Chains A and B, each alone.
Chain A
Amino acid sequence: KAGVTQTPRYLIKTRGQQVTLSCSPISGHRSVSWYQQTPGQGLQFLFEYFSETQRNKGNFPGRFSGRQFSNSRSEMNVSTLELGDSALYLCASSLTLIGAGANVLTFGAGSRLTVL
């Protein structure tokens, strides 16, 4: 059974650019959530998508957005990149919504974004 696949694994951008990250969940998983990991702030929740709808959102500016497709694959986009957006972005998939019963999140290997 394939795990959660994130692409690209590494990327370098400059300030002001935008970036799109992709996440393919485990087959059959309908929820995809995104997390930002930095040394200073740790792991922070960005948003969760389920059935192509954003169900929950963390405390991030509107520059951070996402979407989910009918096959449950998800993308997240960061516009007008800032130096502070440099981070490891982790995607996780689960069978159903976070908190909706005994549900386990499986994480991908992450996309390492460096903003210069």
Chain B
Amino acid sequence: AQSVTQPDIHITVSEGASLELRCNYSYGATPYLFWYVQSPGQGLQLLLKYFSGDTLVQGIKGFEAEFKRSQSSFNLRKPSVHWSDAAEYFCAVVPTGAGSYQLTFGKGTKLSVIP
């Protein structure tokens, strides 16, 4: 079955430390890939997206993600975390090709930042 997996429910890092949030997908063909961030009580904000081309994509707020076809992964990274990055992060995918589709989300990873 098609799915999106974020294996880490909750991650805690110290401010200034590096961060990597994992995302794996299970689809027949490479889907479109997204990372969204949600602060408490807010909607979802797009961090970055991958449609095709360069497998390392840059996003807002200093985030980047790398698409690895062989591992069906799209991990999110940030070299130095700020306290304001504390939020919940969602990986999402849309299948490619003809037909009607939906944006399918992983369960999310909650990030806590220790000052």
Could you list which residues of chain A lie within 8 angstroms of chain B, going by C-beta atoms? 4, 6, 33, 35, 42-43, 45, 48, 55-56, 58, 90, 92, 97-99, 102-110, 112
**Please, which residues of chain B bring their CB within 8 A of the CB of A97?**
100-101
Contacts of A43 in B (CB 8 A): 90, 105, 108
Task: Give Cα A104–Cα B36 distance, bound, in whole angstroms.
Answer: 11
**A55, A98, A102, A109: the one within 8 Å of B103 (CB):** A98
Can you name the residue of chain B whose Cβ is closest to the Cβ of A44? B105
The minimal Cβ–Cβ distance linking A38 to chain B, given in whole angstroms, is 11
State the B residues within 8 Å of A (CB).
Answer: 32, 34, 36, 41-46, 49, 51-52, 90, 94-97, 99-108
Q: Which of B34, B46, B51, B108 contacts A42 (CB 8 A)?
A: B108
What distance in Å separates the Cβ of B43 from its nearest Cβ neighbour in chain A? 4
Q: In the bound complex, do residue B99 and residue A99 qualify as a contact, i.e. CB atoms below 8 Å apart?
A: yes
User: B100 contacts A90, CB within 8 Å?
Assistant: no
Q: Note all chain A residues with C-beta closer than 8 A to B52.
A: 102
Q: How far is the CA of A43 from the CA of B104 in the complex (A)?
A: 8
Report how far A106 CA is from B105 CA in the complex, Å.
14
Q: List 24 A-B contacts (CB under 8 A).
A: A33-B103, A42-B105, A45-B102, A45-B103, A45-B104, A48-B100, A56-B102, A58-B102, A90-B44, A97-B101, A98-B103, A99-B32, A99-B94, A99-B95, A99-B99, A99-B100, A102-B49, A104-B34, A105-B46, A105-B103, A106-B46, A107-B45, A109-B42, A110-B42
B109 to chain A, nearest CB (A): 12
* A42-B108, A99-B95, A102-B51 known; A107-B44 Cβ under 8 A: yes
| A56 adjacent to B101 (CB under 8 Å) | yes
